[in-house]
Amino acid sequence: MSRDTRAPYFQALRRAQEAAFDPGEYVEQQSFMRAGEIRELARDAGITDRSSVLDLCCGVGGPGRLIALELRCGYLGVDRDPDAIAIARTGARGLPCRFEIGEVPPVPGGPYDVVLLLETMLAFADKEALLREISGALGVGGRFAFTMEVGRPLSAAEQERMPNAGTVWLTPLATMRRLLEQAGFALRQVGDCSASHSAVAASLLNAYAADASAIASQIGQARLNDLLIAHRLWVEWLDSRRVRKVSVVAERTEALTHRRSPSAGR
């Protein structure tokens, strides 16, 4: 299993992240979402204390712990990084949630009432295969709630500018709508959070720059430089509407006509 780099970043960036968010809005998320947006998306997805929730690519589990604490749902978070899962489990003691190590895809077998994918859709090149897996983990009437960056794919020049461009797979919203429909979903809600996330990205950029010496001592100057460049680009692209940031709730409305891959659900 290849190793993710989010866990080493967690301690290095935490002080700056706490400073960047408004009071009460930081819950150890490693993203541009505010705590209020996490709560709102969970409510829009219909999560209650009777819901079973699968959170894909959960990282260190901050948003998942918030949802499990406040809504008392049955919760499973999955991430490929063992160090991130260790942090998530430590923070989840006493909460009604579980965290497991696993690649995505495949998606753990359900059925679940809700599947979450927060701030990670961008990294999946094959969104069609991912959506088929997620659809297979939901019963009819189940909801898929996620955030994503929408827009035309990066040009060659933009790929040169963006660090780790191999994980930046932009998709037009019309294409995503079609892929959702093909996977048995109906789009129920789309919210535009571009302005909010641009503001958070700018605040994080300033906080990282202010804490640059301490961060560089932990993750190295080259990685810090990449972090700053990426945040400058996201602010630029969101402000210019080159990229839009959306939150989405889709409902599984019909049975799939295909069979899931043999590895799915293991």
Report angle CA 18, 42, 134 to the nearest 5 degrees.
110
In the chain, pLDDT over 90 holds for what percent of residues? Answer: 89
Q: Tell me, what's the pLDDT at 5?
A: 56
What are the phi and psi torsion angles at 252 (to 5°)?
-75, 115
Q: Tell me, what's the pLDDT at 16?
A: 97
Structure token digits, residue 17: 């992240």
Task: Write the burial class of residue 200 (CB in 10 Å: 0-12 exposed, 13-18 middle, 19+ buried).
Answer: buried
CATH number for the domain harbouring residue 25: 3.40.50.150
In a domain, 227, yes or no: yes
Q: How far apart are CA 170 and CA 125, in angstroms?
A: 9
Kindly state the greatest CA–CA separation across the chain. 54
The 3-state DSSP class for residue 16 equals: helix
Q: Would you tell me how many other CB atoms lie within 10 Å of the CB of residue 79?
A: 28
Average pLDDT in the 53-59 region? Answer: 97
In a domain, 212, yes or no: yes
Q: Does 3 score more than 80 pLDDT?
A: no
In a domain, 72, yes or no: yes
In a domain, 114, yes or no: yes
pLDDT-based confidence at residue 93 (cuts at 50, 70, 90): confident
Between strands 244-252 and 138-150, the pairing is: antiparallel
In a domain, 258, yes or no: no
In a domain, 101, yes or no: yes
Q: Which residues pair with 138 in a beta bridge?
A: 112
Task: Give per-residue pLDDT as tens, 148-197.
Answer: 999 999 999 999 999 999 999 999 999 999 999 999 999 999 999 999 99
In the chain, pLDDT over 70 holds for what percent of residues? Answer: 93
Domain that holds residue 162: 6-252
Please, are residues 126 and 64 in contact by the beta-carbon 8 Å criterion? no
Domain count for the chain: 1
In a domain, 13, yes or no: yes
In a domain, 11, yes or no: yes
Residue of 114, 12, 102 whose CA lies nearest to 57: 102
What are the phi and psi torsion angles at 22 (to 5°)?
-65, 160
